[in-house]
Structure 1
Amino acid sequence: MGLRMRHMLQAAFLCCLLVVAVHSCPQSCKKCSGPENNQCEECRAGWILHEKTCVDIDECDTERGICPSNNYCFNTEGSFKCRDCDPACVGCMGSGPARCRKCASGYKLTGSKCLDIDECSELVLACHSLDEICANTMGSFRCECAKGFIRKDGVCVRQQQPSFQEKGLFEDIKDDEVEVLQQMFFGVVLCALATLAAKGDMVYTSVFMGAVAAMAGYWLSDRGERLLDNFLKEK
């Protein structure tokens, strides 16, 4: 019995929805004789009745659509909205720089549009200081400090470069260089042992001295070139 009653209630609810849907008026109608748009008897605010059809009122063409200064009227269904004019405009009749009543400061009429003025190219001395560079912006410009300068107390002053402190020949030895030095040291020891084994023979002694000089000269010249390169880069 309970299940049967539930089905009856669901059927009654669906019938009510169907009746409401059949006899509901269009959105623009306040009173109607049917669901069709041409069966309206009275319209809602923002529409006007014309041959039993509610037609949208374009408030932007009437005194109803009055918007604040530097705004323009945008019509919507049954109402209207006030939207901001383009930044290039002082007063406008629609969106975009081509609908301006007057160009804003920093803009000029070019053809049919109010376009940005490039003060950096049109003004002879847009920035008065020789240490400043002109950067154009929309409707204006700004003065930026040139490379190597920073702004301090409203003026551009030369940025101080960090003082260069020359490093000693052995102050920044890297791990791979330590390994090379160790190999050189063992090589020298081996050469010394070979020289002793040759009992002071001049040929072996010359080979030993030449090897030591070659290894030391290669390492020192390599580091000397790197130190010189670093010094020139800092300059």
Structure 2
Amino acid sequence: MLTLCVVLFLLLPAPSLGNNCSEHCKACGGPERNQCLQCLPGFMLHDNVCVDIDECGTELAKCPANTYCINTHSSYECRSCDRACVGCMGSGPARCKKCAPGYRSTDLKCLDIDECSEQVLACADINALCLNTEGSFQCHCAPGFTRKGTVCVRNQTPVGEERGLFDDLQDDEVEVLKQMFFGVILCALATLAAKGDMMFTSMFIGAVAAMVGYWLSDKSDRLLDSFLKGR
């Protein structure tokens, strides 16, 4: 009996290896897909057919924190969760397990919080402007201010910067310049009025009246001020 079994075993075809097998088979009894005896890594034998193993649905996948598993042909990949998530079940802000700081669950999605519009004083410095960013916000100094340490200070005029033409004029000098200006205007109007033009004559008379009124008003203010100080 033992001799008969050995003879039958020797008559059976030996399992094929390598190129003679169908795709994904490592060892087979023939070239057909359902004749696999052993599968390549990443596949398992089911009814003599090698099928892909879904590592993501088993404990075979070892993905680090804040990533999710994607099954691939004969293997798997670990991809990063959306920045709005702390842990996820897939891509995008709608697959988060929990929202990251700076995000809020809205309509089943983790969406950015606009701190600049929700917080009255998002920036503690009153001279800083709030700029919302993805998941957070930033405080930038307002125009005319520069950051110094933790606060924004007003920009100083550089030493030696050229001053304007009239920056150093005193009040009395400004008054003289105003009188000279009005004098030039009156001379021009007087010249035009001398030609007999009624419009310029009227303008000349009006300008003279305005100058006299201004002079009398200024004199009366000075007299009244001197009188009060004298008392």
Q: Secondary structure at the match of 2:56?
A: helix
Alpha-carbon distance, 1:27 to partner: 4.4
Letter in 2 for 1:150: T
Q: Which residue is equivalent to 2:139? A: 143
CA 1:26–1:156: 2 relative to 1, 3 Å:
farther
Letter in 2 for 1:74: I
Q: CA RMSD in A?
A: 2.0
Q: Which residue is equivalent to 1:38? A: 34
Q: Secondary structure at the match of 1:90?
A: coil
* Contiguous gaps of at least 5 residues in structure 2: 1-17, 166-231
Q: Which residue is equivalent to 1:83? A: 79
Q: Which residue is equivalent to 2:43? A: 47
> In 2, Cα distance between the equivalents of 1:120 and 1:137?
9
1:60 touches 1:73 (CA, 8 Å); kept in 2?
yes
> In 2, Cα distance between the equivalents of 1:25 and 1:121?
66
> In 2, Cα distance between the equivalents of 1:165 and 1:26?
90
1:117 touches 1:139 (CA, 8 Å); kept in 2?
yes
CA 1:161–1:28: 2 relative to 1, 3 Å:
farther
> In 1, Cα distance between the equivalents of 2:44 and 2:128?
63
Q: Secondary structure at the match of 1:49?
A: strand
* Contiguous gaps of at least 5 residues in structure 1: 1-21, 168-235
- 1:97-144: CA deviation from partner (whole Å, max 9, x where unpaired): 110000011000010210100000011110011100001111111110
Q: Secondary structure at the match of 2:60?
A: helix
CA 1:151–1:35: 2 relative to 1, 3 Å:
farther
Q: Which residue is equivalent to 1:164? A: 162
Alpha-carbon distance, 1:52 to partner: 2.6
Letter in 2 for 1:106: G
Alpha-carbon distance, 1:24 to partner: 3.9
Q: Larger Cα Rg: Structure 1 or Structure 2?
A: 2
Alpha-carbon distance, 1:36 to partner: 4.6
Query: What TM-score do the two structures reach when normalised by structure 1?
Result: 0.57
Residue 130 of structure 1 is aligned with which of 126, 129, 145? 126
Percent identity, aligned pairs only? Answer: 60
1:23 touches 1:34 (CA, 8 Å); kept in 2?
no
1:47 touches 1:78 (CA, 8 Å); kept in 2?
yes
- 1:172-201: CA deviation from partner (whole Å, max 9, x where unpaired): xxxxxxxxxxxxxxxxxxxxxxxxxxxxxx
Q: Which residue is equivalent to 1:105? A: 101
Q: How does 1:135-214 map onto structure 2 within 5 Å?
A: 135-162=131-158, 163-165=161-163
Greater share of helix: 1
Q: Secondary structure at the match of 1:65?
A: coil
CA 1:36–1:165: 2 relative to 1, 3 Å:
farther
Letter in 1 for 2:37: E
> In 2, Cα distance between the equivalents of 1:36 and 1:138?
55
CA 1:35–1:155: 2 relative to 1, 3 Å:
farther
